[in-house]
Chain A
Amino acid sequence: MEKVIQTRGLYKTFPRKGGSAQTATHYCPGCEHGVLHKLIGEALADLGLQDRTVVISPVGCSVFAYYYFDTGNIQVAHGRAAAVGTGISRTKNDAVVISYQGDGDLASIGLNETLQAANRGEKIAVFFVNNTVYGMTGGQMAPTTLVGEKTETSPEGRDPLQAGYPLHMAELISQLKAPVYIARVSFSNMAKLRQARQAIRKALEIQRDGKGYAFVEVLMACPTNQKMNVEAAIRFVSEQMEAEYPLGVLRDRSGEAKTLVRAESDYRKETLDRLLHLDTDRAPDAKLDPSARTVSVKMAGFGGQGVLSMGVILARTACAAGKFVSWYPSYGPEQRGGTANCGVVISGQPVGSPVVAEADVLVAMNRPSLEKFAGEVKPGGLLIYNAAIGEFAAPAGVRVLAVPAQELAKQGGSPRASNTAMVGVLAALGGFGLPDAVYREAIATHFSGKESVVKQNEAVFELARQWGAKQKP
């Protein structure tokens, strides 16, 4: 009985290539991409992985890898294969993802993606072709070019003082904890080729079992751009490249590595409703009431006085009462330490601009905000401020009230809740027409999960509301 040992895992013919020679590769004579393609294809076929596999073609000579691999194929931007592979692998837990990249792609423009994907332990088998030179673009220096090696962009030979030293990718990646398997191989003699075949198979077995990241650096001849005949190019690999880049398995944790399973999406509405707390945090839809007055409130103070939170509690109350409402903060670095302010607009119809330029009500918690915003209160409007600020010359035509917010908060049992005290005073004097009970609901929702905090804030609110009801600003 006869058996024919032939190429497997690759297409029989290459119609995507077009042109006349659709049974030959586009690679130059003696180029070893074809050798690597055949070894990967053979392993995929032997392991029965072709249906599960997505091969990522990079930019470089192997940009057309998708002409050849009889698997799913994706062609991507220069250097981004590891990121694309991450996207595929995270989305499809069972996919066997192969990233096939050259030295310019992986070690230069894509170095960040390469290291970060390795560091995350993505389920990707990376086959890294190191032939010390850019191929597709015409023989420029690569990060892996040897010291003294002549290329189009190192015509006098790579000078380390000018262009640094060859980048050792396998060693770099072996500094990371997550990768499961790291090896460097070559095809420079038959024994080494057979070791390479084993390494490639191992990297793909790790993918079959979903165990994580595998990196196989393959030292290869590029007779065209190394400007040598095939024999000399192979000798260059075995004598010079292998001296700089030692072959071997740098890591093999395939035995102890566990299968990594990514989640399956849950699309059910019940799941989402629960996740977003629709059971406990749920307001009625806003009711259209064009007769209701639109009220604009500005709240300001320094970061840490709970100004933004005060606004949110008021907005929650309005929302729970079926009003249209908007809340808009000053945001960014200023909220981390500096002054903070927010605007709340409450209305019986959809809110136009959420930005409060003229306020019906101003709540000022510190002097700078009081001085900055006092002039923005509309005639007849209400200005309440933290009594701790001290003396203040109120603008004419505005109702003004100093609120002993800190004292009220202290009496209520929560010294930090002077913002809640202000909400209590607003409930009494703001003229928003929102029921007191709804304020209490909003406070409970706002601090939900922290029972004692809810109780303290409710107490402060009630005390301040009663205090406010007795004032005549």
Chain B
Amino acid sequence: MSEQASGFKLPYPAIDPLECKACGRCIAACPKKVIRMGQKLNARGYTFAEYLGEGCIGCLNCFYVCPEPNAIAVHVDAKEAR
């Protein structure tokens, strides 16, 4: 997923709506509170987390606390990435 395709500025979390099980861990872990639980259901019957679209600082908290391997990837600027 490229910056253009997502429409988000780096850094940002790419949350796959299908893979989210709505546990809410990413929301609790986000220091900037830029992830929220959506209202819609995905194809597996869960609501899913959504990025508000701006404010991500690329801390990776959401990525590491997310228990689903394919639900969250975080896109960051390669120069800033550790």
Contacts and interface: CB of A to CB of B under 8 A. Distances in A.
Interface of A: 1-7, 10, 12, 21, 23-25, 27-35, 37-39, 41, 68, 187, 190, 193-194, 197, 223, 230-231, 234
Given A2-B78, A6-B74, A24-B21, 12 more contacts: A2-B3, A2-B75, A2-B77, A5-B75, A6-B63, A25-B68, A29-B46, A34-B66, A35-B67, A194-B64, A223-B23, A231-B24
22 contacts: A2-B10, A2-B78, A3-B78, A4-B73, A4-B76, A7-B69, A7-B73, A12-B70, A23-B19, A24-B21, A25-B68, A25-B69, A30-B25, A33-B67, A34-B66, A35-B66, A38-B64, A190-B29, A190-B64, A223-B23, A231-B24, A234-B28
B65 interface: yes
Contact of A31 (B46, B67, B69): B67
B65 A5 contact: no
Contacts, number: 95
A5 B74 contact: yes
A23 B46 contact: no
Nearest to B76: A3
A449 to B, nearest CB: 62
Interface residues of B, number: 34
Interface of B: 1-3, 10, 14, 18-19, 21-25, 28-29, 44, 46, 60-61, 63-70, 73-79, 81
A321 B60 CA distance: 81
Contacts of B77: 1-3
Contacts of B22: 29
B23 A3 contact: no
A323 B75 CA distance: 83
A4 B77 CA distance: 9
Contact of A35 (B24, B65, B76): B65
A409 to B, nearest CB: 78
